[in-house]
Amino acid sequence: MMILLFGMISFVTNLAAPMGVVLKNQFSVSNSLGMLGNFANFLAYAVMGIPAGKLLEKIGYKKTALIAILVGFLGVLIQFFSGIAASFAVYLLGAFVAGFSMCMLNTVVNPMLNTLGGAGKKGNQLIQVGGSFNSLMGTLVPILVGMLVGEVTKASIPDVNPVLFIALGIFAMVGIVLYFVDIPEPHITAKAAVEKLAHSAWSFRHFILGAVGIFVYVGVEIGIPGTLNLFLADPNAGGLDATTAGFVAGTYWFLMLIGRFFGASIGGKVSSKTMLIVASFVGMVFVLLAMFLPTSITISMPLVQAKTAGLAFGTANVPISAMFLVLCGLCTSVMWGGIFNLAVEGLGKYVAAASGIFMTMVVGGGILPLVQNFVADQSTYMVSYWVPFLGLAYLFYYAVIGSKNVNTDIPV
């Protein structure tokens, strides 16, 4: 059930970035304003993160998840009505409401998978398995949006209504299934009386640095393919049609899927720290290559394409920079589970509250891509990739130095 919810989170969250192409066209806005839907989605995490953690502590995993599903259904419905009203503001409201739902679901899913795995390497492995399904949904969204939009010059919100209908159907189906599933409530059953805690999750240095790591990571994960989609669909830059640009961006998420399958297979043997060190370092190398190799150099890149008979593997001629940015999907694939596990290691009874704080920091997925696209507006798309590069450099520091628990004296 938790893995299914993990997939839902990705489907709705990753709808925001490819919608940036649609919003840019329909409302004639800049790159940074086109990413406002993505920003609104993640801004909800800043508002709802800590309340979601409190809600989880009070009413438990199942009720929190059911409320989240109802809120998410409403958010997608508002986005659908924004197409009828042809209103940018209504769309942003829908993205903001959907973000509340994604925040609450994330607050439920991550600590539950960590708990089911008994924390440590097994907990990391379960989060990687959930992340694999998360990536599968993330792969499908930009591909579906790209197929429906076709020519970007004619794109508008009603063109992607089928994707919104799929999202509504997923919410309805999962809500019904979840209602009948028995979910364990470890934090509720273990707490017979309200306990006055002498410390909090903020008392742990490695957790604070890990929370910053989540802020940075989600911004990097969303910013790389989101800006890539805009770059490739720009007639003055990548010069591809919206459909092909969507397939290239979707391939990033497909590589995240492959990376998470690999991460899940070795998660029981390789530590979160080692995974994060390797992934962040290789990611920095890929981003540097993308920025410094001329975009005039093109390469035939394999990707998933739409054929008359359905989806199939094919190739597209893309700037070599795009290939290296797509390869970053292999690196970002294992980072979420690694950061979460390193940050909550040794927190014990503070994990539930820590999860809520973590969700607040996911707002980085809205802020950093907005900053990146502001840089792109002022300079070039490739120069804007200094933003995710610096983020990857911080994650490398956290994995090597910042993740050590220096507060082992605190009783947990």
pLDDT recorded at residue 287: 97
pLDDT recorded at residue 60: 84
| Per-residue pLDDT reduced to its tens digit, 181-204 | 887 776 554 444 445 667 788 889
Residue 409 lies in a domain: no
* CATH code, 220: 1.20.1250.20
pLDDT recorded at residue 189: 45
Residue 343 lies in a domain: yes
Residue 410 lies in a domain: no
| Per-residue pLDDT reduced to its tens digit, 65-95 | 899 999 989 998 998 888 888 888 888 898 8
Domain count, the chain: 1
Residue 298 lies in a domain: yes
Regions of the chain where pLDDT drops below 70: 16-18, 21, 119-121, 124, 142, 145-155, 186-197, 304-312, 412
Cα separation, 142 vs 242, in Å, equals 10
pLDDT recorded at residue 329: 92
| Per-residue pLDDT reduced to its tens digit, 18-29 | 677 677 777 777
Residue 407 lies in a domain: no
pLDDT recorded at residue 307: 56
Give the structural domain span for 149: 2-402
pLDDT recorded at residue 192: 43
Residue 115 lies in a domain: yes
Residue 408 lies in a domain: no
Q: Tell me, yes or no, if the pTM score tops 0.85.
A: no
